[in-house]
């Protein structure tokens, strides 16, 4: 049996899954900036073995983690089997299990981080997933514990025997959610030392310095989420810093290229079926805008303007008129999506 291999790059720089944000278009755009080794789908919630799931859009050059979230072992096993029969999932695909989601609704149904409260069940689920996905990569994304990081040593003990290829650990417990003061990257050191497969650190990596700090714990890579939406060039900056060279970006180009990035994302959303009438595409752009407006080269006004707008066309007009370096729609290189959708 030949098992798929992890990408050989070291350390691995991975894009975090973010529901409503890291759709195919956003992933492609971030990949096109360079230096991302692995991306992930937003989670697919599994509730029944017979569930219909839409095909996954893969990327030509960058491996994709297909993330599932489930509480029912039979359902997730059945879905993987069915997806393979329907040729939606393949033997060499990379499956990731979400064991970190802190949503109360999800946790009350025993999924996401709630699986940390049932380590035996979690192990059984991973083993069953491995059984029906023998040759592909299998990973899990989790937190330091459910109620507190004091649970972490017991979780690690249990995970030592898990048939995983990689684990991503968001260095917070479920209860601390996203509290900026609750990140405990020292715990990653213990995981990197004790687990027999690579550990990827996650949580608040928004600068090359934060990445370097996290990598100093001995983890095999870092996963960045919100930081990449605030600064789409984050991965390039991290890679450059790790290689001891200056980042390729010239400060004076940053503002126009960030606006261009926003326009490219808008064009992706406009290219989706029924996009102009779809609140979900407008919502998706506004959610992205909340993050991008935290970039000092963009600023708060960006979101303040966009939040009032009610169509993608209105947002496009605003983007086109707000920066002099953007050319009119339809011109060459106006958007990386001009030839794709």
Ligand X SMILES: Cc1cc2nc3c(=O)[nH]c(=O)nc-3n(C[C@H](O)[C@H](O)[C@H](O)COP(=O)(O)O)c2cc1C
By CB under 6 A, name the binding residues for ligand X: 16-21, 42-43, 67, 98, 100, 141, 170, 202-205, 224-227
Give 176 or 335: the residue with its C-beta nearer to ligand X: 176
CB of 115 to ligand X, least distance (A): 12
CB of 22 to ligand X, least distance (A): 8
How far is CA 130 from each of CA 2, 16, 60, 90, 96, rounded to the nearest angstrom?
14, 22, 25, 14, 11
CB of 296 to ligand X, least distance (A): 18
Longest Cα–Cα distance of the chain, Å, equals: 59
Contact yes or no for 38/88 (Cβ under 8 A): no
Tell me if residue 219 falls in helix, strand or coil. Answer: coil
Give 185 or 319: the residue with its C-beta nearer to ligand X: 185
- Chain centroid to Cα 170, Å, comes to 12
CB of 324 to ligand X, least distance (A): 32
Long-range pairs for 85-93 at CB < 8 Å and ≥24 separation? Answer: 88/53, 88/55, 88/56, 89/56, 90/136, 91/133, 91/134, 91/135, 91/136, 92/4, 92/135, 92/136, 93/64, 93/66, 93/133, 93/136, 93/137
The phi, psi pair for 337, rounded to 5°, reads -90, 0
Dist CA 180 CA 160 (whole Å): 29
Which residues are CB-contacts of 294 (< 8 A; sequence separation ≥ 6)? 230
Dist CA 76 CA 68 (whole Å): 8
CB of 287 to ligand X, least distance (A): 7
CB of 207 to ligand X, least distance (A): 11
Give 83 or 111: the residue with its C-beta nearer to ligand X: 111
CB of 314 to ligand X, least distance (A): 24
Give 78 or 100: the residue with its C-beta nearer to ligand X: 100
314 token code pair: 């209105």
Torsion sign over Cα 291, 297, 298, 300: positive
Give 168 or 264: the residue with its C-beta nearer to ligand X: 168
Give 185 or 336: the residue with its C-beta nearer to ligand X: 185
CB of 173 to ligand X, least distance (A): 13
CB-nearest residue to ligand X: 225
Give 99 or 319: the residue with its C-beta nearer to ligand X: 99
The phi, psi pair for 94, rounded to 5°, reads -110, 115
Give 139 or 264: the residue with its C-beta nearer to ligand X: 139
- Chain centroid to Cα 191, Å, comes to 21
Dist CA 77 CA 49 (whole Å): 7
């Amino acid at each position: 049996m030949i098992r798929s291999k992890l990408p050989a790059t070291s350390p691995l720089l991975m894009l975090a899954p973010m529901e409503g944000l890291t759709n195919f278009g956003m992933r492609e755009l971030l990949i096109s900036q360079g230096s991302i080794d692995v991306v992930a789908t937003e989670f697919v919630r599994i509730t029944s073995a017979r569930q219909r799931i839409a095909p996954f859009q893969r990327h030509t050059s960058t491996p994709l983690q297909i993330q599932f979230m489930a509480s029912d072992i039979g359902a997730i096993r059945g879905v993987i089997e069915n997806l393979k029969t329907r040729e939606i999932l393949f033997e060499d695909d990379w499956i990731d299990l979400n064991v970190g989601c802190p949503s109360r609704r999800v946790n009350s149904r025993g999924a996401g981080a709630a699986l940390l409260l049932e380590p035996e069940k979690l192990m059984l689920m991973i083993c069953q997933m491995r059984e029906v996905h023998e040759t592909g990569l299998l990973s899990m994304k989790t937190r330091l514990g459910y109620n507190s990081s004091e649970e972490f040593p017991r979780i690690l003990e249990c995970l030592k025997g898990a048939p995983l290829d990689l684990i991503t650990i968001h260095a917070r417990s479920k209860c601390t959610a996203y509290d900026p003061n609750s990140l405990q990257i020292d715990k990653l050191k213990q995981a990197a030392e004790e687990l027999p497969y690579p550990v990827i650190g996650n949580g608040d990596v928004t600068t090359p310095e934060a990445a370097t700090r996290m990598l100093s714990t001995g983890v095999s890579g870092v996963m960045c989420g919100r930081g990449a939406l605030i600064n789409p060039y984050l991965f390039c900056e991290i890679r450059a810093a790790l290689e001891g060279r200056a980042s390729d970006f010239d400060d004076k180009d940053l503002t126009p290229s960030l606006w261009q990035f926003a326009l490219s994302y808008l064009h992706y959303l406009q290219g989706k079926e029924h996009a102009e009438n779809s609140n979900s595409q407008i919502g998706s752009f506004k959610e992205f805008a909340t993050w991008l407006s935290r970039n000092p080269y963009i600023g708060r006004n960006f979101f303040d303007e966009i939040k009032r707008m009610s169509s993608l066309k209105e947002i496009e007009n605003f983007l086109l008129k707000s920066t002099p370096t953007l050319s009119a729609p339809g011109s060459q290189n106006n958007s990386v999506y001009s030839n794709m959708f």
